[in-house]
Structure 1
Amino acid sequence: MSKIFPEVIKNLPEADIPLDGITAFLSQGDQHQIIFMEFEKDVDLPEHEHESQYGIVLEGKIELTIDGVKNTFVKGDRYYIPSGVKHFGKIFAGYADMTFFNEKDRYSKK
């Protein structure tokens, strides 16, 4: 599916993320993960929380409600979710991003 990411990214292990219509590649660090994600379908994200997260939108649109504040992010935007802050949202088909998770085991390899 990946149209946005070059081979060097597509050669990374796929991340096991329990969402329909996602392709995600995992770069694993000692204390963090970086995930390169693409969505071919709309996805509703239920409310949840985890360690801090920083994302850069590469394509498409995502709506995130972070700590009660709704935002829409599009190509070129950045977002930050502090550790332990509840958030939920909607990811639209065609969305792609690069996301840093400040936890080494957020996702496992497929």
Structure 2
Amino acid sequence: MEFSEDVELPEHAHEGQWGIVLEGRIDLTIGQIKQTFIKGDRYFIPEGVHHSGKIYAGYSDITYFDQKSRYKPKEC
């Protein structure tokens, strides 16, 4: 994922999520714990745990969701 503008993430929950920050900064509150992640950091959000945050312009990451139905395959 890549973001060219700041984005506020309202509190929500879903299946498990793992991320590796490639560039920029993201502030995440996972459960009751607030953390900042920058280039090279990894984060994990367990299934069903409420989380929120702020993504800053210039942020990019590789994100994995433990949810097969989250995205549909793209057709060429």
Deviation per CA, 1:49-95: give whole Å up to 9, x if none: 00000000000000000001000000000000000000000000000
Corresponding position: 1:64 with 2:35: no
TM-score scaled to structure 1, two decimals? Answer: 0.65
Corresponding position: 1:51 with 2:15: yes
In structure 2, the residue matched to 1:87 is: 51
TM-score scaled to structure 2, two decimals? Answer: 0.92
Equivalent residue letter for 1:72: T
In structure 2, the residue matched to 1:29 is: none
Which consecutive unaligned segments of at least 5 residues does structure 1 have? 1-36
- Superposition deviation, residue 105 in structure 1: 1.7
Equivalent residue letter for 1:79: Y
- Superposition deviation, residue 109 in structure 1: 5.8
Which consecutive unaligned segments of at least 5 residues does structure 2 have? none
Deviation per CA, 1:35-60: give whole Å up to 9, x if none: xx000000000000000000000000
Q: Distance in 2 between matches of 1:77 and 1:99?
A: 12
Calculate the aligned-residue CA RMSD, in Å. Answer: 1.2
